[in-house]
Amino acid sequence: MIFPWVKHFHTIYGEKEESAEASPDRSDTEAESGSTFPEPAEEADEGASSPASESGISAMGRVAANLLSHLNNDMAIGRRIKSGELRKRLVEPEWTVPEPFNMTTFTREHYSMKLLTRKADPRTDMAILQLHGGGYQGPVRNAYYVLAGLYNEVSRGMSVLTPDYRVAPEDPYPAALEDAADAYAFLLERGYTGDQIIVGGDSAGGGLALALTMYLRDHDQPLPRGIIAMSPWTDLTAGGPSYESNYEKDIVFGNTKESLIYLNEYAAGMDKTNPYISPAFGSFEDFPPVLLQVGSEEMLLSDSQTVAAKLRACGRKVRLSVYEGMFHDFQLAYLMLPESRRAWTEVGRFIEILMKDDRADDIKNEESAFV
């Protein structure tokens, strides 16, 4: 599936659009046939289709994983990447807004945020609040404005608000949660109801999206219509089983105790089982529908599995999609990998179902795996 704006973005920045789409094979853990949550549409890109490898990961996905593994594990810069030091010190030029969009900056008391809107036929009935990743230690970066464009594309024109919330060590918990709640309140002040807001986030931002929803529920605030959590970090104690079982498989955080997973200053000495810090330890009563996406090789795999199990136990609507062979935050590959393309197609389908009058009754309470 090709999204028009992304093709435009690749033209501007000279990035080559991958031409082959993997043909997905079904795994035994995928949702059963006849699930009322349809699979993302299989739309072929220009060029021939390339089959998935025997292990389920696409050829391009394997190449990307090998390159990332080499960068993170074999090169000197890998230690700085895993610890979050490089991200913390990253200096980027101001993002060039692609022609189809407008971007407006809002300055709040403690942080700033950017609202991306479509110039032609913008949707005014819904908005997406995007909470960026970075281990609660890295500020927003330009990649998240690209993701804002993707969210806009797959949602058919929803405006996307991306706050550059405060991060540790300068501003530990509860700064990020306070800023996320303030950004949500900003949308309410602009006339949106909770039912007109979708909250999305990746990594720490995915965990923050869940923590924000808990906070809103506990303080009798309107809840969002749905939540999209990509590779969410929901257990800052690093106590789930995949932190051990995937320790040697995780090419982003694995094989070291010096990554930001273990050396993280967000909690600042507070109890990491506080649900507003680690939502995996919280209650998911009254939650809106949730889409969880995670790679099978992630140390954070059990973070999503635990949240999904708790949501099901509460009778809530949840879709857990485990992408075979994928690494942490693979969705940030945009549309350059078959797996990331499928993930963004699934996000679009999830949003489409959320917009139905039946309030996502089609979402199947089952785990699925995509390859």
* Measured distance CA(305)–CA(67) in Å, rounded: 27
Catalytic pick among 203, 259, 296, 340: 203
pLDDT at 368: 56
Residues of the chain with pLDDT below 70 are 1-55, 69-89, 357-371
Contact 181, 189 (CB under 8 A): no
Q: Is 328 a catalytic residue?
A: yes
Catalytic pick among 297, 298, 339, 367: 298
pLDDT at 367: 54
Cross-strand pairs, 6 = none
Q: To 10 degrees, the CA torsion angle through 86, 90, 96, 101?
A: 60
**Would 42 be classed as within a structural domain?**
no
CATH of the domain at 289: 3.40.50.1820
Q: Is 298 a catalytic residue?
A: yes
pLDDT at 63: 83
Total number of domains in the chain: 1
pLDDT at 62: 84
pLDDT at 304: 98
**Would 338 be classed as within a structural domain?**
yes
pLDDT at 65: 79
**Would 265 be classed as within a structural domain?**
yes
- The string of pLDDT tens digits covering residues 182-231 is 999 999 999 999 999 999 999 999 999 999 999 999 999 999 999 999 99
Q: Is 110 a catalytic residue?
A: no
* Of the candidates 209, 254, 258, 251, the residue with the CA atom closest to the CA atom of residue 234: 209
pLDDT at 60: 86
Catalytic pick among 155, 302, 304, 328: 328
pLDDT at 35: 30
Omega before 24 within 30 of 0, i.e. cis: no
**Would 306 be classed as within a structural domain?**
yes
Identify the domain containing residue 135 by its residue range.
Answer: 4-15+60-370
**Would 183 be classed as within a structural domain?**
yes
* Of the candidates 355, 371, 95, the residue with the CA atom closest to the CA atom of residue 363: 355
Identify the three-state secondary structure at position 230: strand
pLDDT at 258: 87
Q: To 10 degrees, the CA torsion angle through 308, 325, 202, 345?
A: -90
